Amino acid sequence: MSAAEWMPLVFLGLMGLALLIYVVLDGYDLGVGLLMLGASEEQQDRMVASIGPFWDANETWLVLGVGLLLVAFPKAHGLILQALYLPVALMLLGLMLRGVAFDFRVKAQAQWKPLWNAAFMGGSALAAAAQGWMLARYITGFAEGWAYTAFAAVIALALAAAYALLGAAWLIMKMEGELQALAVRRAKLAWPAVVLGLLLVSLITPMVSPTVAARWFSLPEFIALLPIPLMTALSLLALRGLLNSHRVLGKLCWAPFALMVVVMLLGFLGLAYSLFPFVIIDRMTVWQAAAASDSLRFILWGAALTVPAILGYTVFAYRVFWGKSGELKYA
Amino acid sequence: MDAIVLARMQFAANITFHILFPSINIALGWMLLFFRWRWLKTQDQAWLQAYRFWTKVFALSFALGVVSGITMSFQFGTNWPGFMEKAGNIAGPLLGYEVLTAFFLEASFLGVMLFGHGRVSERVHAWATFLVAFGTTLSAFWILSLNSWMQTPQGHEIINGEFFAKDWWAIIFNPSLPYRLSHKLLASGLTVAFFLAGVSAWQMLKGKTQASTAKVMRVGLTLGALLIPLQIFVGDQHGLNTLAHQPAKVAAMEGVWQTEKGAPLLLFAWPNAQTRSNDFALAIPKAASLILTHDPEGEIRGLNEFQGAHPPVAPLFFGFRIMVGLGVLMLAFSWLGLWLYRRCAWRIEALPRWFLWGLTGMTFSGWLATVAGWYVTEIARQPFIVYGLLRTADVASSTPAPMIAATLMGYVTLYLGLIVAYISVIKYMAEKGLPSESVPSSAATSLNPHRSPQS
């Protein structure tokens, strides 16, 4: 395989990895933002404290994902972002509102705190829903029509529910006592919406794209791929079972989060299989969208050196704040 | 209004909002390291207090910088898709290196720096602080490398209208990078110098001084007094570099409509694009030639030589004068201030009130000068996006104008709201002082008995 053939694949893999890590990491902190709705002020403070040290770096994965799209596939970058102009703008407004509310809610005068809390929750919801909308538009190849709009609306809600479930799993892991119990109750609420969303994506994507249908519903591929939906279903069922068990409050508090990560990983693999080798489904392949080989080679060196380092210090940062989360203090 | 103008306004709104916060944080990161070092060295609680207060400011500014930076990475695609299609081979890797080497570094260690004291050793914490400061500076390097390449492109070849990299070394270290980078880093230092001094002056005026206030004031004034002469020198060198590579830009900045020898320096004028001349000019004879060519009879090429390919004159002409005027004020305030402060033996309460009010007024002078300077250099690149090679109009998005206008309104409303919130929170924090409860047990001593509820 020549460099012009394999390098775009490497970058596709890296971009996928960055986006997967983003969805998991920012997913849980956006989810925590959604779950603040209806919590007491003291609970809200503790919820924010559990994500405080991480959110900046979590969002950086989105910049890396879109950055790699720009670096490696400049021709697709413009097309995709133009097609998603409005949801991108809404997502950015949401991310901005919640990102700044993080700091303002504790630094501004007490009378403004409810406003910044609302900005935090509203921004999280807007960003999560906009991302779901973008995902739906992307996997249907930006097709127009009321049915596609409805599909996008449903997926917007489903992704928000998935983030809420992930956020609840994070809180189950990082909290104790009353707040942990609250997180279990919220997780139970979010679970059916996540299942419904996943079912819808799995059914509707092959219906709207003959390419995807042909990929999944032909033999022997169908049998070979069966583990993906089966393992997803098993993970989700195990997760639901765990939520009823008291052990989730103790020794197994990490398990719901781990199972959600598995579900997201499988969902990601399923999507990747549906789309590959297209960057824009049925329209543009990775090779058509790729930047010049010299440019890819130049950045590949940097990525080979820095991505392991980034992963290393991300793990370091999480280890520093390992275990149950306390009160957030500048120290 | 047509879509290109709206897209430019939107991008300008975002980048203007964004640059405010890195301008503070690039230098503030190093200042935090300095405060921390002074504290470890002297064990004086005042330095620790300064570190803690300005760390909060840093965290707030960082959040605003991150979210507006994320926006920018998307707006390259939503607003200028053609730029990435045509120049993506050059711009992509430079932006990519920024994210890979700098953005992750700062964002990841920020958490450890802000909340990790007590969880990691002093040494690791000092390293985290260093890495955050280093990351912000490295970030500036990559971004300015790309921006400078767009001003003075080299090291590439163009095949079928698409840019390809030929020599990365030449691309990264293009002719205007050293000047632009040092100009920007010094600008950040000056922004922070007057921010520190201005907030300290406000605390003194409101009778809210703490042990750290007098020290921070001294640091701010000293930093300003040291950096401003350097900045004037670098600015002059940057101007000469621009004259060599982008003469149309200098002609517009100086309002030189016709090529002339012994050109006067216009202190004030009203550039008239219709008559292609200046109204109401107030000038120092031959001074522009002297400054730009270091020869009173030197020739400056006028805008008449760049008809149809030069930027609009008025914004450059005024933007440049606002920047230089603020620089002169900074020189006056920092030198006078240092002299006054020394004369009253570094006792902040002995500083005259009129001077404190003046410094308060200068708190965000660095922002104004920075933004004015950026407008000069960016507007001056027009009508090109890559100077002389690629026109902005040819890379614009096909997004309909009303949609750009609607989102522009959303962004601008949010940005204005956030700037107001930022400044009022800084004011509130400055007046409230710092609760000492957050001092970790190892550092909390009986020296600081005024415990107040933690925010």
What is the domain partition of chain B in residue ranges? 3-234+314-438
For chain A, the domain total comes to 1
Look-up: residue for tokens 């002409």?
Answer: B317
Q: What is the pLDDT of residue A330?
A: 60
**Is A326 within a domain?**
no
Q: Which of A51, A56, A68 to mutate to test the interface with B (most CBs of B within 10 A)?
A: A56
Q: What is the CATH number of the domain that holds A45?
A: 1.20.1630
- CA–CA separation, A130 and B407 (whole Å): 15
Enumerate residues 6+ apart whose C-beta is below 8 A from A302: B93, B96, B97, B100, B101
Note whether A99 contacts B59, CB cutoff 8 Å.
no
Q: What chain B residue is nearest to A302 in terms of C-alpha separation? A: B97
Query: How close, in Å, is residue B276 to chain A by CA atoms?
Result: 38
Tokens coding B52: 């803690």
Sign of CA dihedral A67, A70, A73, A77: positive
- CA–CA separation, A10 and B65 (whole Å): 31
- CA–CA separation, B291 and B232 (whole Å): 12
Note whether B89 contacts A317, CB cutoff 8 Å.
no
Note whether B114 contacts A53, CB cutoff 8 Å.
yes
Mean pLDDT in residue range A176-195? 90
Whether complex ipTM tops 0.85: no
- CA–CA separation, B290 and B299 (whole Å): 10
Note whether A74 contacts B88, CB cutoff 8 Å.
yes
**Is A2 within a domain?**
no
Look-up: residue for tokens 């991300």?
Answer: A314
- Contact list, B104 vs chain A (CB under 8 Å): 57, 60, 64, 306, 310, 313-314
Q: What chain A residue is nearest to B75 in terms of C-alpha separation? A: A81
Note whether B109 contacts A53, CB cutoff 8 Å.
no
| Confidence (pTM) | 0.86
Contact B260, B302 (CB under 8 A): yes
- Contact list, B59 vs chain A (CB under 8 Å): 103, 330
Query: How close, in Å, is residue A78 to chain B by CA atoms?
Result: 4
With vertex at residue B45, the alpha carbon angle to CA B39 and CA B46, rounded to the nearest 5 degrees, is 90
pLDDT (tens place) for every residue of chain B, 455 residues total = 688 888 888 899 999 999 999 999 999 999 999 998 998 889 888 898 899 899 989 989 998 988 888 888 788 878 888 888 888 888 888 988 898 888 888 888 888 888 887 788 888 888 889 999 999 999 999 999 999 999 999 988 888 888 988 899 999 999 999 999 999 999 999 999 999 999 999 998 888 888 888 899 999 999 999 999 999 999 988 888 888 888 888 888 888 888 888 888 888 888 888 888 888 888 888 888 888 888 888 888 888 888 777 888 888 888 998 999 999 999 999 999 999 988 888 888 888 889 999 999 999 999 999 999 999 989 888 888 898 888 888 888 777 888 888 888 988 999 999 999 999 999 988 888 665 444 443 333 333 333 333 33
Among the partner-chain residues A67, A81, A100, the one whose CB lies closest to the CB of B418 is A100
Host domain of residue A105: 8-320
- CA–CA separation, B73 and B91 (whole Å): 12
Q: Which of A30, A59, A71, A310 to mutate to test the interface with B (most CBs of B within 10 A)?
A: A71
Closest to A84 measured CA to CA, from A128, A30, A141, A162: A141
Query: How close, in Å, is residue A267 to chain B by CA atoms?
Result: 25
* Element containing residue B377 per DSSP (H, E): helix B365-379
- Contact list, A317 vs chain B (CB under 8 Å): 108-109, 111-112
* Element containing residue A86 per DSSP (H, E): helix A85-107
- CA–CA separation, A249 and A172 (whole Å): 7
pLDDT band at A266 (very low <50, low <70, confident <90, very high): very high
- CA–CA separation, A173 and A304 (whole Å): 33
Q: Can you tell me whether residue B271 is helix, strand or coil?
A: strand
- CA–CA separation, B104 and B91 (whole Å): 19
Closest to B248 measured CA to CA, from B379, B395, B148: B379
Contact A328, A52 (CB under 8 A): yes
Average pLDDT, chain A: 87
Segment A197-253, tens digit of pLDDT: 889 888 888 887 788 888 888 888 888 888 888 999 999 999 999 888 888 888 888
